[in-house]
Homo-oligomer: A and B are copies of this chain.
Amino acid sequence: MDTLDLLRNRRTIRKYNDTPIGDELLSELLEVAFRAPTTGGMQLYSVVVTRDNEMKQKLAPTHFNQPTVTSAPVVLTFCADYNRFVKWCEASDAQPGYDNFASFTTAMIDTLLVAQQFNTAAELRGLGCCYLGTTTYNAPQIAEILNLPRLVVPVTTLTVGFPADVPQQVERLPLEAIVHHEQYKDYTTDDIHRLYAEKEALPANKRFVEENGKATLAQVFTDVRYTKKDNEYFSRIWADFIASQGFK
């Protein structure tokens, strides 16, 4: 099979079988992940590996008890990290100026590229992963559990394991919905209806609307999954936490 097909056919895996992930395999995947592009060669990230069941139990509530956390053999918390780099500056007679939002953004970019490179490496080795968006929601609690110092902020989490089963691949919007040529071409209402028609027509999504007692699929997102109230609440926590970790 063409390697690109592996990427094309990938899917998120939330359920794992009992096959353990050896230290050697994990190290190999991390090493490959750290080959991801990084700003100025600075590698502004750290990865905290959770294998211990007690630590998984502690992390679980910060991820709203998604079962993937406690059932995965390995949980990886990817952190934007200027702590190590700043300590290197201080040990090298250099005056760091990285306690600011632009530097945080740079570290966040570095961290996410590494996370995705890990995800791909793991998938190419037959493992499956699941990203946990809850990481930024409950960053303060995660930082406490993982003992993260100043200038270290958890950005995303991957649960990793060998797939128990392979779910159906989920839908994507057509290419023309995402790609703009030379300049951004804004969407008319007609465009929107056309581009989302296939998504809305999927039986799984129709069921989803029904189960949630809503009139449209979008309402499931706005009223149930990602509400204004929650988003505003977590915005404050996240912004405050970034600042309290030293990025003002």
Q: Which residue from chain B places its CB closest to the CB of A176 in the assembled complex?
A: B27
Checking B137, B152, B219 against A93 with a beta-carbon cut-off of 8 angstroms, the contacting residue is: B219
Q: Which residue from chain B places its CB closest to the CB of A226 in the assembled complex?
A: B40
Cβ–Cβ contact A175 & B34, under 8 A: yes
A10, CB-defined interface residue at 8 Å: yes
Checking B10, B36, B98, B179 against A47 with a beta-carbon cut-off of 8 angstroms, the contacting residue is: B179
Cβ–Cβ contact A92 & B216, under 8 A: yes
Given A41-B171, A95-B228, A120-B120: A238 and B102 interface contact (C-beta under 8 Å): yes
- Chain B hits for A84, CB < 8 A: 177, 187, 192, 195
Of A41, A79, A180, A234, chain B has the most CB atoms within 10 Å of the CB of A180
Chain A residues 40 to 85 lying within 8 A of chain B, measured CB to CB, are 40-43, 45-52, 55, 79, 83-85
Interface string of A140-162 (1 = CB under 8 A from B): 00000011110010011000000
Chain A residues 220 to 248 lying within 8 A of chain B, measured CB to CB, are 221-223, 225-229, 231-232, 234-235, 238-239
Cβ–Cβ contact B155 & A109, under 8 A: yes
In the complex, the count of this chain's copies comes to 2
Chain A residues 193 to 218 lying within 8 A of chain B, measured CB to CB, are 193, 195-196, 215-218
Chain A, interface size: which category?
35 or more
- Chain B hits for A184, CB < 8 A: 46, 48, 79, 146-149, 152
Q: Which residue from chain B places its CB closest to the CB of A6 in the assembled complex?
A: B3
- Chain B hits for A181, CB < 8 A: 48-49, 51
- Chain B hits for A167, CB < 8 A: none
Q: Which residue from chain B places its CB closest to the CB of A112 in the assembled complex?
A: B112
Q: Which residues of A contact B (CB under 8 A)?
A: 3-4, 6-10, 12, 27-28, 30-32, 34-37, 39-43, 45-52, 55, 79, 83-85, 87-89, 91-98, 100-103, 105-106, 108-109, 112-113, 115-117, 119-121, 124-125, 129, 131, 133, 136-137, 146-149, 152, 155-156, 170-173, 175, 177-184, 186-187, 189, 192-193, 195-196, 215-219, 221-223, 225-229, 231-232, 234-235, 238-239
